[in-house]
Amino acid sequence: MNKELRSEWHLLPLFGEKEKQADLLIISGPCSAESQSQMQATASGLARAGVKFFRAGIWKPRTRPGSFEGIGAPALKWLVNSANQNNMTPLTEVANEAHVRAALRAGLRNFWIGARTTTNPFAVQEIADVFAQLPEDVKHSVTVLVKNPVNPDLELWIGALQRLYVSCIRRLGAIHRGFSAYGEKFYRNRPEWRIPVELKRRIPELPLICDPSHIAGRRGLVEKVARQAVDMNYEGLIIESHCNPDSALSDKDQQLLPEDVGKLISSLGKRRGKAPDNCLFTLRDEIDNIDRELVGLLARRMNVAREIGELKRVHQIPVLQPERYRSLMEERIEEARELGLSPDFMKKIFSTIHDESVNQQLQ
Work out which of 25, 34, 52, 57 binds ligand PEP, going by CB under 6 A: 57
- For residues 15 to 34, the per-residue mask of contacts with Mn ion, x marking binding by CB under 5 A and - elsewhere, is ----------------x---
Minimum distance from CB of 273 to ligand PEP (Å)?
32
Minimum distance from CB of 72 to Mn ion (Å)?
16
DSSP result, 159-182: HHHHHHHHTT--EEEEEE--B--T
Please give the Cα distance from 164 to 144 (Å, whole number): 8
Work out which of 31, 39, 127, 248 binds ligand PEP, going by CB under 6 A: 31
First to last CA, the chain: 30
Please give the Cα distance from 138 to 109 (Å, whole number): 8
What, of ligand PEP, Mn ion, none, does residue 301 touch, CB below 5 to 8 Å by kind?
Answer: none
Q: Using CB under 6 A, count the residues that bind ligand PEP.
A: 8
Other beta carbons within 10 Å of 4: 7
What, of ligand PEP, Mn ion, none, does residue 114 touch, CB below 5 to 8 Å by kind?
Answer: ligand PEP
Residue 222 binding ligand PEP, by CB under 6 A: no
Closer residue to ligand PEP (CB): 230 or 249: 249
Residue 342 gets the label, from left (phi > 0), alpha (psi -120 to 50) or beta, of beta
> What is the maximal distance between C-alpha atoms in the chain?
81
Helices (H), 106-233: 115-118, 121-132, 136-141, 154-166, 194-202, 212-216, 219-231
Residues 299-338 that bind ligand PEP (CB under 6 A): none
Residue spans of beta strands (DSSP E) within the chain: 25-29, 53-55, 89-93, 110-113, 143-147, 171-176, 208-210, 236-240
Closest CA to 78 of 113, 43, 27, 26: 43
Residue 251 binding Mn ion, by CB under 5 A: yes
* Sole window of 113-121, 130-138, 261-269, 300-308 interacting with ligand PEP (rule: CB under 6 A): 113-121
Minimum distance from CB of 148 to ligand PEP (Å)?
8
Closer residue to Mn ion (CB): 126 or 251: 251
- For residues 153 to 182, the per-residue mask of contacts with ligand PEP, x marking binding by CB under 6 A and - elsewhere, is ------------------------x-----
Please give the Cα distance from 155 to 103 (Å, whole number): 28
* Residue with smallest beta-carbon separation from ligand PEP: 114
Other beta carbons within 10 Å of 274: 7
Cβ partners under 8 Å of residue 68, min gap 6:
32, 60, 62, 249, 250
What, of ligand PEP, Mn ion, none, does residue 147 touch, CB below 5 to 8 Å by kind?
Answer: ligand PEP
Minimum distance from CB of 149 to ligand PEP (Å)?
9
Closer residue to ligand PEP (CB): 38 or 357: 38
Per DSSP, 25 falls in state: E
* Sole window of 12-20, 114-122, 258-266, 307-315 interacting with ligand PEP (rule: CB under 6 A): 114-122
Q: Which residues bind ligand PEP (CB under 6 A)?
A: 31, 57, 114-116, 147, 177, 214
Q: Which residues bind Mn ion (CB under 5 A)?
A: 31, 251
